[in-house]
Structure 1
Amino acid sequence: MAAKTTTLNVYLLAGVKTTTGSFNACKERLNEQLRLEGIEPTIHVLYPYGDSSRNWVRQVFEVKTDLSNRMKAGRIGGRNVWQQIKDTVSSERTLLIGHSGGGAAAYQAAKMLEEDGVLRDFRIVQVGSPRTPIHPRLQKKVSYFHSIDNSGKMNDPISRIGSWGGWIRAGGLIPQWNSYKYAPGYVEGIPTVGGHADYFRNTEAYMDKEAVCNLDKTIGCVRAWLKGWL
Protein backbone atom coordinates (compact mmCIF):
# COMPACT_ATOMS: atom_id res chain seq x y z
CA MET A 1 0.00 0.00 0.00
CA ALA A 2 1.35 3.45 -0.93
CA ALA A 3 2.19 5.82 1.91
CA LYS A 4 -0.43 8.44 2.63
CA THR A 5 0.40 11.87 1.22
CA THR A 6 0.50 14.62 3.82
CA THR A 7 0.18 18.35 3.28
CA LEU A 8 2.36 21.25 4.36
CA ASN A 9 1.93 25.02 4.17
CA VAL A 10 5.24 26.71 3.35
CA TYR A 11 5.89 30.45 3.47
CA LEU A 12 9.16 31.89 2.16
CA LEU A 13 9.69 35.37 3.58
CA ALA A 14 12.07 37.86 1.98
CA GLY A 15 14.20 40.48 3.67
CA VAL A 16 15.21 44.00 2.70
CA LYS A 17 15.67 45.04 -0.94
CA THR A 18 14.84 41.60 -2.32
CA THR A 19 14.11 41.23 -6.02
CA THR A 20 11.03 39.37 -7.15
CA GLY A 21 11.98 35.88 -8.26
CA SER A 22 14.83 35.56 -5.75
CA PHE A 23 13.15 32.53 -4.15
CA ASN A 24 12.34 30.77 -7.42
CA ALA A 25 15.14 28.19 -7.19
CA CYS A 26 14.45 27.58 -3.50
CA LYS A 27 10.75 27.13 -4.17
CA GLU A 28 11.37 24.63 -6.96
CA ARG A 29 13.91 22.62 -4.95
CA LEU A 30 11.70 22.46 -1.87
CA ASN A 31 8.70 21.43 -3.92
CA GLU A 32 10.69 18.69 -5.64
CA GLN A 33 12.25 17.27 -2.47
CA LEU A 34 9.12 17.40 -0.34
CA ARG A 35 7.06 15.61 -2.98
CA LEU A 36 9.65 12.85 -3.15
CA GLU A 37 9.00 12.32 0.57
CA GLY A 38 5.24 12.06 0.06
CA ILE A 39 4.51 15.59 1.23
CA GLU A 40 2.19 17.83 -0.78
CA PRO A 41 3.47 21.39 -0.21
CA THR A 42 1.68 24.65 -0.89
CA ILE A 43 4.47 27.21 -1.18
CA HIS A 44 3.98 30.97 -0.98
CA VAL A 45 6.55 33.77 -1.31
CA LEU A 46 5.91 36.87 0.79
CA TYR A 47 7.64 40.26 1.03
CA PRO A 48 7.04 41.58 4.57
CA TYR A 49 8.80 44.87 3.80
CA GLY A 50 8.08 45.13 0.09
CA ASP A 51 10.41 44.19 -2.76
CA SER A 52 13.49 45.89 -4.22
CA SER A 53 11.39 48.66 -5.80
CA ARG A 54 10.57 50.10 -2.35
CA ASN A 55 12.79 52.56 -0.44
CA TRP A 56 15.41 50.49 1.37
CA VAL A 57 15.85 52.93 4.26
CA ARG A 58 12.18 52.58 5.17
CA GLN A 59 12.50 48.79 4.89
CA VAL A 60 15.46 48.75 7.31
CA PHE A 61 13.47 50.84 9.79
CA GLU A 62 10.58 48.37 9.58
CA VAL A 63 12.89 45.40 10.19
CA LYS A 64 14.07 47.07 13.40
CA THR A 65 10.50 47.08 14.70
CA ASP A 66 10.48 43.27 14.44
CA LEU A 67 13.63 42.79 16.54
CA SER A 68 11.87 43.14 19.90
CA ASN A 69 8.86 41.62 21.61
CA ARG A 70 7.04 44.82 22.35
CA MET A 71 3.40 45.48 21.51
CA LYS A 72 2.01 44.11 18.24
CA ALA A 73 1.65 47.64 16.92
CA GLY A 74 5.44 47.87 16.58
CA ARG A 75 6.03 44.69 14.59
CA ILE A 76 5.58 46.04 11.08
CA GLY A 77 6.88 43.09 9.01
CA GLY A 78 5.29 40.57 11.34
CA ARG A 79 1.94 42.34 11.17
CA ASN A 80 2.13 42.53 7.38
CA VAL A 81 2.61 38.76 7.18
CA TRP A 82 -0.03 38.13 9.85
CA GLN A 83 -2.50 40.25 7.88
CA GLN A 84 -1.77 38.42 4.62
CA ILE A 85 -2.18 34.88 5.90
CA LYS A 86 -4.39 34.97 9.02
CA ASP A 87 -7.61 34.33 7.10
CA THR A 88 -6.26 31.74 4.67
CA VAL A 89 -3.67 29.66 6.55
CA SER A 90 -5.08 26.30 7.55
CA SER A 91 -4.63 24.46 10.83
CA GLU A 92 -2.40 21.93 9.07
CA ARG A 93 1.37 21.87 9.49
CA THR A 94 2.97 25.19 8.58
CA LEU A 95 6.61 26.00 7.87
CA LEU A 96 7.87 29.58 7.72
CA ILE A 97 11.35 30.17 6.26
CA GLY A 98 12.61 33.73 6.47
CA HIS A 99 15.82 35.16 5.01
CA SER A 100 17.44 38.19 6.64
CA GLY A 101 14.71 40.51 7.98
CA GLY A 102 12.18 37.98 6.73
CA GLY A 103 13.30 35.68 9.54
CA ALA A 104 12.33 38.29 12.13
CA ALA A 105 8.98 38.84 10.40
CA ALA A 106 8.41 35.07 10.24
CA TYR A 107 8.85 34.73 14.00
CA GLN A 108 6.68 37.72 14.89
CA ALA A 109 3.89 36.64 12.52
CA ALA A 110 3.95 33.04 13.78
CA LYS A 111 3.92 34.19 17.39
CA MET A 112 0.84 36.35 16.78
CA LEU A 113 -0.91 33.58 14.83
CA GLU A 114 -0.12 31.11 17.62
CA GLU A 115 -1.49 33.50 20.22
CA ASP A 116 -4.63 33.91 18.09
CA GLY A 117 -5.08 30.12 18.02
CA VAL A 118 -4.61 30.00 14.24
CA LEU A 119 -1.28 28.15 14.16
CA ARG A 120 -0.71 25.04 16.23
CA ASP A 121 1.66 22.69 14.43
CA PHE A 122 4.39 24.89 12.95
CA ARG A 123 8.12 25.48 12.64
CA ILE A 124 10.13 28.64 11.94
CA VAL A 125 13.45 28.77 10.11
CA GLN A 126 15.58 31.93 10.21
CA VAL A 127 18.38 32.18 7.64
CA GLY A 128 21.00 34.92 7.89
CA SER A 129 18.61 36.92 10.06
CA PRO A 130 19.16 39.57 12.70
CA ARG A 131 18.85 38.18 16.21
CA THR A 132 15.29 38.32 17.50
CA PRO A 133 14.56 37.24 21.11
CA ILE A 134 12.48 34.04 21.06
CA HIS A 135 9.86 33.40 23.74
CA PRO A 136 10.86 30.34 25.83
CA ARG A 137 7.70 28.41 24.91
CA LEU A 138 8.55 28.73 21.20
CA GLN A 139 12.31 28.18 21.26
CA LYS A 140 12.10 24.50 20.24
CA LYS A 141 10.00 25.49 17.22
CA VAL A 142 12.63 27.91 15.88
CA SER A 143 15.94 27.22 14.12
CA TYR A 144 18.61 29.68 13.04
CA PHE A 145 21.20 29.25 10.28
CA HIS A 146 24.06 31.62 9.51
CA SER A 147 27.02 31.65 7.15
CA ILE A 148 30.49 30.65 8.37
CA ASP A 149 33.97 30.87 6.85
CA ASN A 150 36.50 28.06 6.41
CA SER A 151 37.55 28.31 10.06
CA GLY A 152 33.95 28.00 11.29
CA LYS A 153 33.57 31.65 12.29
CA MET A 154 30.39 33.60 11.57
CA ASN A 155 30.95 35.83 8.55
CA ASP A 156 27.49 37.28 7.89
CA PRO A 157 27.33 40.77 9.45
CA ILE A 158 23.51 40.76 9.51
CA SER A 159 23.62 37.77 11.88
CA ARG A 160 25.41 39.96 14.43
CA ILE A 161 22.58 42.52 14.59
CA GLY A 162 20.16 42.30 17.51
CA SER A 163 20.42 40.23 20.67
CA TRP A 164 19.26 36.97 22.25
CA GLY A 165 20.71 37.90 25.61
CA GLY A 166 19.13 38.18 29.03
CA TRP A 167 20.03 38.13 32.71
CA ILE A 168 20.00 34.85 34.64
CA ARG A 169 20.84 33.70 38.15
CA ALA A 170 23.29 30.82 37.98
CA GLY A 171 23.48 29.50 41.52
CA GLY A 172 24.36 32.83 43.07
CA LEU A 173 22.86 36.14 44.06
CA ILE A 174 24.63 38.12 41.36
CA PRO A 175 22.80 38.04 37.98
CA GLN A 176 24.86 36.96 35.00
CA TRP A 177 24.39 37.87 31.36
CA ASN A 178 23.55 34.91 29.11
CA SER A 179 23.89 35.86 25.43
CA TYR A 180 21.78 32.83 24.40
CA LYS A 181 18.95 33.09 26.92
CA TYR A 182 16.34 33.90 24.24
CA ALA A 183 18.07 32.20 21.30
CA PRO A 184 16.29 29.83 18.91
CA GLY A 185 16.35 26.22 20.04
CA TYR A 186 18.73 25.25 17.26
CA VAL A 187 21.59 27.33 15.82
CA GLU A 188 23.95 26.12 13.06
CA GLY A 189 26.56 27.60 10.75
CA ILE A 190 26.57 26.89 7.01
CA PRO A 191 29.82 27.15 4.97
CA THR A 192 28.38 29.14 2.09
CA VAL A 193 30.14 30.79 -0.84
CA GLY A 194 29.58 34.52 -1.24
CA GLY A 195 27.79 36.85 1.13
CA HIS A 196 24.60 37.61 2.99
CA ALA A 197 22.38 37.59 -0.09
CA ASP A 198 23.61 34.23 -1.36
CA TYR A 199 22.18 31.48 0.88
CA PHE A 200 19.75 30.38 -1.83
CA ARG A 201 22.04 30.65 -4.88
CA ASN A 202 22.52 27.53 -6.99
CA THR A 203 24.70 28.63 -9.90
CA GLU A 204 28.32 27.61 -10.42
CA ALA A 205 29.70 30.78 -8.83
CA TYR A 206 28.14 29.70 -5.53
CA MET A 207 29.45 26.13 -5.44
CA ASP A 208 32.28 24.85 -3.25
CA LYS A 209 35.18 22.64 -4.31
CA GLU A 210 32.89 19.60 -4.12
CA ALA A 211 30.41 21.30 -6.51
CA VAL A 212 27.77 21.67 -3.77
CA CYS A 213 25.84 24.93 -4.11
CA ASN A 214 24.64 27.21 -1.32
CA LEU A 215 21.01 26.32 -1.97
CA ASP A 216 21.59 22.61 -1.44
CA LYS A 217 23.59 23.26 1.72
CA THR A 218 20.93 25.52 3.16
CA ILE A 219 18.00 23.26 2.32
CA GLY A 220 19.96 20.25 3.52
CA CYS A 221 20.52 21.84 6.93
CA VAL A 222 16.89 22.88 7.17
CA ARG A 223 15.61 19.41 6.26
CA ALA A 224 17.95 17.77 8.77
CA TRP A 225 16.53 19.97 11.53
CA LEU A 226 12.98 19.23 10.42
CA LYS A 227 13.53 15.47 10.40
CA GLY A 228 11.05 13.86 12.73
CA TRP A 229 8.56 16.68 12.30
CA LEU A 230 8.04 16.25 8.58
Structure 2
Amino acid sequence: MMMCIPLYWCACSGTPILLQWRESIMPMNTPAASGNDSRLYVYALAGIGTAPGFMQEFHGELSRRLAASTGFTAAGGLLYPYGEWSRSVRRQIWEVWRDIRLPAGAWARSYGVAAVRRELEPAARGSGPVVLVGHSGGGTAAVHAADMLLAADPERPVAVVQIGSPRSPVPPVLQEATVYCYACGPDGRGRDPVCRLGSWRAAGEPRGRLPVGRAVWRKPGQLVPLPIAGRHPDYFRGHLRAAGGASNLELALETVEKHIQGLWPQLFGEEERAPFS
Protein backbone atom coordinates (compact mmCIF):
# COMPACT_ATOMS: atom_id res chain seq x y z
CA MET A 1 0.00 0.00 0.00
CA MET A 2 1.50 3.29 -1.05
CA MET A 3 1.22 6.23 1.31
CA CYS A 4 2.25 9.85 1.08
CA ILE A 5 4.64 11.33 3.63
CA PRO A 6 4.33 15.00 4.66
CA LEU A 7 7.16 17.42 4.17
CA TYR A 8 10.18 16.44 6.28
CA TRP A 9 13.25 18.58 6.92
CA CYS A 10 16.77 17.16 6.67
CA ALA A 11 18.54 17.51 10.01
CA CYS A 12 21.47 19.56 8.75
CA SER A 13 20.35 21.31 5.59
CA GLY A 14 16.76 22.16 6.46
CA THR A 15 15.69 20.98 3.00
CA PRO A 16 12.04 19.81 2.71
CA ILE A 17 11.41 16.59 0.81
CA LEU A 18 8.16 14.89 -0.23
CA LEU A 19 8.01 11.24 -1.18
CA GLN A 20 6.05 8.00 -1.14
CA TRP A 21 6.94 4.77 0.63
CA ARG A 22 6.00 1.12 0.99
CA GLU A 23 5.76 -0.42 4.47
CA SER A 24 7.96 -3.37 5.39
CA ILE A 25 8.91 -5.17 8.60
CA MET A 26 12.30 -5.77 10.24
CA PRO A 27 12.34 -7.91 13.40
CA MET A 28 14.79 -7.32 16.21
CA ASN A 29 15.64 -8.69 19.66
CA THR A 30 17.54 -6.96 22.47
CA PRO A 31 19.84 -8.86 24.87
CA ALA A 32 19.03 -8.68 28.57
CA ALA A 33 20.99 -6.60 31.07
CA SER A 34 22.87 -8.25 33.90
CA GLY A 35 25.51 -7.65 36.59
CA ASN A 36 26.77 -4.63 38.51
CA ASP A 37 27.94 -1.70 36.45
CA SER A 38 29.77 1.54 37.29
CA ARG A 39 29.32 3.00 33.81
CA LEU A 40 26.92 5.70 32.66
CA TYR A 41 25.92 5.05 29.06
CA VAL A 42 25.39 8.25 27.07
CA TYR A 43 24.21 7.99 23.47
CA ALA A 44 23.45 10.76 20.99
CA LEU A 45 21.19 9.65 18.13
CA ALA A 46 21.32 11.84 15.03
CA GLY A 47 18.46 12.52 12.65
CA ILE A 48 18.22 12.10 8.89
CA GLY A 49 20.57 13.60 6.33
CA THR A 50 23.09 14.34 9.08
CA ALA A 51 26.74 15.22 8.51
CA PRO A 52 29.29 12.89 10.14
CA GLY A 53 30.20 14.28 13.55
CA PHE A 54 27.21 16.66 13.65
CA MET A 55 26.49 15.89 17.34
CA GLN A 56 30.06 14.95 18.28
CA GLU A 57 30.83 18.09 20.30
CA PHE A 58 27.51 17.88 22.12
CA HIS A 59 27.94 14.19 22.94
CA GLY A 60 31.53 14.59 24.11
CA GLU A 61 30.78 17.53 26.39
CA LEU A 62 27.62 15.96 27.81
CA SER A 63 29.49 12.73 28.58
CA ARG A 64 32.29 14.67 30.26
CA ARG A 65 29.91 16.73 32.41
CA LEU A 66 27.78 13.80 33.51
CA ALA A 67 30.84 11.72 34.37
CA ALA A 68 32.35 14.57 36.39
CA SER A 69 29.09 15.24 38.24
CA THR A 70 28.21 11.64 39.05
CA GLY A 71 31.49 9.79 39.45
CA PHE A 72 30.43 7.19 36.90
CA THR A 73 32.62 6.26 33.96
CA ALA A 74 31.11 7.57 30.73
CA ALA A 75 30.47 5.09 27.95
CA GLY A 76 28.29 5.14 24.85
CA GLY A 77 28.72 6.94 21.57
CA LEU A 78 27.30 8.88 18.65
CA LEU A 79 24.76 6.87 16.64
CA TYR A 80 23.14 7.27 13.23
CA PRO A 81 19.94 5.18 13.38
CA TYR A 82 18.94 6.18 9.85
CA GLY A 83 22.37 6.79 8.37
CA GLU A 84 24.52 9.80 7.51
CA TRP A 85 23.97 12.18 4.63
CA SER A 86 25.86 9.81 2.28
CA ARG A 87 22.88 7.42 2.47
CA SER A 88 19.71 8.05 0.48
CA VAL A 89 17.80 10.76 2.33
CA ARG A 90 14.55 9.58 0.78
CA ARG A 91 15.13 6.13 2.20
CA GLN A 92 15.89 7.64 5.60
CA ILE A 93 12.65 9.63 5.58
CA TRP A 94 10.73 6.51 4.64
CA GLU A 95 12.19 4.66 7.62
CA VAL A 96 11.60 7.49 10.11
CA TRP A 97 8.02 8.00 8.98
CA ARG A 98 7.30 4.30 9.30
CA ASP A 99 8.90 4.22 12.77
CA ILE A 100 6.85 7.11 14.17
CA ARG A 101 3.69 5.32 13.02
CA LEU A 102 4.51 1.98 14.67
CA PRO A 103 1.95 0.99 17.31
CA ALA A 104 2.98 0.23 20.88
CA GLY A 105 4.22 -3.32 21.15
CA ALA A 106 5.62 -3.31 17.62
CA TRP A 107 8.77 -1.30 18.25
CA ALA A 108 10.98 -4.37 17.92
CA ARG A 109 10.37 -3.74 14.19
CA SER A 110 11.82 -0.23 14.40
CA TYR A 111 14.31 0.51 11.63
CA GLY A 112 16.15 2.93 13.90
CA VAL A 113 16.66 0.41 16.71
CA ALA A 114 17.67 -2.37 14.32
CA ALA A 115 20.33 -0.12 12.77
CA VAL A 116 22.03 0.69 16.10
CA ARG A 117 21.46 -2.59 17.91
CA ARG A 118 25.13 -3.58 17.76
CA GLU A 119 26.29 -0.22 19.15
CA LEU A 120 23.76 -0.50 21.99
CA GLU A 121 24.80 -4.01 23.01
CA PRO A 122 27.30 -2.85 25.70
CA ALA A 123 24.49 -0.94 27.42
CA ALA A 124 22.06 -3.82 26.92
CA ARG A 125 24.47 -6.22 28.62
CA GLY A 126 25.25 -3.83 31.46
CA SER A 127 23.11 -2.42 34.26
CA GLY A 128 24.31 1.18 34.59
CA PRO A 129 22.04 4.15 33.84
CA VAL A 130 21.41 4.97 30.18
CA VAL A 131 20.87 8.42 28.67
CA LEU A 132 19.54 8.57 25.09
CA VAL A 133 19.48 11.99 23.44
CA GLY A 134 17.89 12.03 20.00
CA HIS A 135 17.76 14.88 17.52
CA SER A 136 15.03 14.98 14.87
CA GLY A 137 14.20 11.42 13.79
CA GLY A 138 16.81 10.19 16.23
CA GLY A 139 14.40 11.11 19.01
CA THR A 140 11.94 8.50 17.77
CA ALA A 141 14.68 5.86 17.67
CA ALA A 142 15.72 6.91 21.20
CA VAL A 143 12.23 6.19 22.59
CA HIS A 144 12.07 2.83 20.83
CA ALA A 145 15.56 1.84 22.02
CA ALA A 146 14.76 2.87 25.59
CA ASP A 147 11.59 0.82 25.57
CA MET A 148 13.49 -2.23 24.31
CA LEU A 149 16.08 -1.84 27.10
CA LEU A 150 13.31 -1.64 29.69
CA ALA A 151 11.61 -4.68 28.22
CA ALA A 152 14.78 -6.64 28.98
CA ASP A 153 15.17 -5.10 32.47
CA PRO A 154 12.16 -3.14 33.84
CA GLU A 155 14.25 -1.79 36.74
CA ARG A 156 16.87 -0.29 34.44
CA PRO A 157 17.39 3.48 34.91
CA VAL A 158 16.82 4.93 31.43
CA ALA A 159 16.31 8.57 30.42
CA VAL A 160 15.32 9.99 27.03
CA VAL A 161 15.70 13.51 25.65
CA GLN A 162 14.08 14.33 22.32
CA ILE A 163 15.32 17.51 20.66
CA GLY A 164 13.52 18.86 17.59
CA SER A 165 11.84 15.51 16.99
CA PRO A 166 8.63 14.52 15.23
CA ARG A 167 5.87 13.52 17.63
CA SER A 168 5.41 9.84 18.36
CA PRO A 169 3.75 8.07 21.31
CA VAL A 170 5.86 7.54 24.43
CA PRO A 171 4.98 4.40 26.42
CA PRO A 172 3.72 5.02 29.98
CA VAL A 173 6.80 3.38 31.49
CA LEU A 174 8.95 6.06 29.82
CA GLN A 175 6.79 9.18 30.02
CA GLU A 176 8.22 10.50 33.29
CA ALA A 177 11.75 9.80 32.08
CA THR A 178 11.30 11.59 28.73
CA VAL A 179 11.69 15.29 28.01
CA TYR A 180 10.79 16.85 24.66
CA CYS A 181 12.63 20.02 23.59
CA TYR A 182 11.61 22.29 20.73
CA ALA A 183 12.92 25.54 19.26
CA CYS A 184 10.84 28.60 20.11
CA GLY A 185 10.84 32.30 19.38
CA PRO A 186 10.91 35.19 21.87
CA ASP A 187 7.15 34.75 22.34
CA GLY A 188 7.61 31.11 23.40
CA ARG A 189 5.83 29.74 20.33
CA GLY A 190 7.37 26.76 18.57
CA ARG A 191 9.13 27.42 15.28
CA ASP A 192 10.58 24.03 14.35
CA PRO A 193 8.50 22.51 11.52
CA VAL A 194 9.68 18.97 12.32
CA CYS A 195 8.08 19.25 15.77
CA ARG A 196 4.69 19.61 14.08
CA LEU A 197 4.98 16.25 12.32
CA GLY A 198 3.53 13.04 13.71
CA SER A 199 1.30 12.69 16.76
CA TRP A 200 1.41 11.64 20.42
CA ARG A 201 -1.96 9.98 19.97
CA ALA A 202 -2.03 6.22 20.46
CA ALA A 203 -4.68 3.53 20.33
CA GLY A 204 -6.28 2.94 23.72
CA GLU A 205 -7.51 -0.13 25.53
CA PRO A 206 -10.94 -1.53 24.60
CA ARG A 207 -13.88 -0.22 26.63
CA GLY A 208 -15.15 -3.15 28.64
CA ARG A 209 -16.33 -5.87 26.29
CA LEU A 210 -16.72 -3.54 23.35
CA PRO A 211 -14.08 -3.96 20.62
CA VAL A 212 -13.72 -0.19 20.36
CA GLY A 213 -10.67 1.48 21.85
CA ARG A 214 -10.49 5.05 23.05
CA ALA A 215 -7.85 7.48 21.89
CA VAL A 216 -5.17 8.26 24.47
CA TRP A 217 -2.28 10.68 24.42
CA ARG A 218 1.23 9.41 25.14
CA LYS A 219 3.13 12.66 25.55
CA PRO A 220 6.60 12.99 27.02
CA GLY A 221 6.61 13.89 30.71
CA GLN A 222 8.02 17.37 30.05
CA LEU A 223 7.78 19.74 27.10
CA VAL A 224 10.60 22.30 27.16
CA PRO A 225 10.88 25.29 24.79
CA LEU A 226 14.44 26.19 23.78
CA PRO A 227 14.88 29.84 22.72
CA ILE A 228 17.75 29.04 20.36
CA ALA A 229 19.05 31.16 17.53
CA GLY A 230 18.03 29.58 14.24
CA ARG A 231 15.77 26.62 13.68
CA HIS A 232 15.82 22.84 13.24
CA PRO A 233 19.47 22.27 12.21
CA ASP A 234 20.86 24.66 14.83
CA TYR A 235 20.25 23.14 18.29
CA PHE A 236 23.91 22.18 18.77
CA ARG A 237 25.65 25.18 17.21
CA GLY A 238 28.31 26.54 19.54
CA HIS A 239 28.76 29.74 17.53
CA LEU A 240 25.09 30.78 17.58
CA ARG A 241 23.88 32.74 20.60
CA ALA A 242 20.50 31.93 22.10
CA ALA A 243 18.30 34.34 24.08
CA GLY A 244 20.20 35.46 27.16
CA GLY A 245 23.61 35.22 25.51
CA ALA A 246 24.32 31.50 25.94
CA SER A 247 25.16 29.48 22.86
CA ASN A 248 22.65 27.03 21.43
CA LEU A 249 25.02 24.23 22.42
CA GLU A 250 25.22 25.39 26.03
CA LEU A 251 21.45 25.73 26.25
CA ALA A 252 20.97 22.17 25.00
CA LEU A 253 23.59 20.83 27.41
CA GLU A 254 22.08 22.61 30.41
CA THR A 255 18.60 21.35 29.55
CA VAL A 256 19.73 17.73 29.34
CA GLU A 257 21.75 18.00 32.56
CA LYS A 258 18.80 19.48 34.40
CA HIS A 259 16.53 16.66 33.23
CA ILE A 260 18.98 13.95 34.31
CA GLN A 261 19.62 15.63 37.64
CA GLY A 262 15.89 15.91 38.35
CA LEU A 263 15.29 12.31 37.34
CA TRP A 264 18.22 10.77 39.23
CA PRO A 265 19.19 13.17 42.06
CA GLN A 266 21.15 10.44 43.84
CA LEU A 267 23.69 10.41 41.00
CA PHE A 268 24.53 14.05 41.63
CA GLY A 269 25.08 13.76 45.38
CA GLU A 270 21.73 15.26 46.34
CA GLU A 271 20.93 11.92 47.92
CA GLU A 272 23.28 9.10 48.88
CA ARG A 273 24.24 7.40 45.64
CA ALA A 274 23.49 3.70 45.52
CA PRO A 275 25.04 1.50 42.82
CA PHE A 276 22.79 0.37 40.00
CA SER A 277 22.66 -3.39 39.83
State the TM-score, normalized to the length of structure 2: 0.71
Give 1:63's match in structure 2, choosing from 66, 85, 96.
Answer: 96
Whole-angstrom CA distance in 1 between matches of 2:60 and 2:153: 30
Relative contact order, CA 8 A, sep 6+: which one is greater? 2
**Does residue 1:152 correspond to 2:185, yes or no?**
no
- 8 Å Cα contact 1:79-1:109 kept in structure 2: no
- Per-residue deviation at 1:83? 4.3
- Per-residue deviation at 1:117? 2.9
Q: Which runs of 5+ in 1 are unaligned?
A: 1-5, 169-174
**Does residue 1:134 correspond to 2:167, yes or no?**
no
- 8 Å Cα contact 1:149-1:191 kept in structure 2: yes
Q: Trace 1:151-190 onto structure 2 (pairs within 5 A).
A: 151-165=187-201, 181-190=217-226
Choose 74-83 or 91-100, whichever is displaced more.
Answer: 74-83
- 8 Å Cα contact 1:82-1:112 kept in structure 2: no
Q: Secondary structure at the match of 1:81?
A: helix
- 8 Å Cα contact 1:63-1:101 kept in structure 2: yes
- Per-residue deviation at 1:208? 3.4
Deviations 1:191-213 (A, max 9, x none): 0001101111101xx11364310
Q: 1:209 to 1:79 in 2, by over 3 A?
A: closer
Whole-angstrom CA distance in 2 between matches of 1:208 and 1:11: 24
Whole-angstrom CA distance in 2 between matches of 1:39 and 1:15: 28
Letter in structure 2 aligned against 1:9: Y
State the TM-score, normalized to the length of structure 1: 0.85
**Does residue 1:86 correspond to 2:121, yes or no?**
yes
- Per-residue deviation at 1:217? 0.5
* Correspondence for 2:83: 50
What's the C-alpha RMSD, in Å, of the aligned pairs? Answer: 2.3
Whole-angstrom CA distance in 2 between matches of 1:182 and 1:66: 15
Whole-angstrom CA distance in 1 between matches of 2:151 and 2:75: 23
- 8 Å Cα contact 1:23-1:45 kept in structure 2: yes
Letter in structure 2 aligned against 1:22: F
* Correspondence for 1:7: 39
**Does residue 1:75 correspond to 2:142, yes or no?**
no
- 8 Å Cα contact 1:190-1:217 kept in structure 2: yes
Number of equivalences: 215
Q: Which runs of 5+ in 2 are unaligned?
A: 1-37, 205-212, 268-277
Identity %, equivalent residues? 34
Q: 1:80 to 1:120 in 2, by over 3 A?
A: same
- Per-residue deviation at 1:35? 3.6
Whole-angstrom CA distance in 1 between matches of 2:123 and 2:219: 29
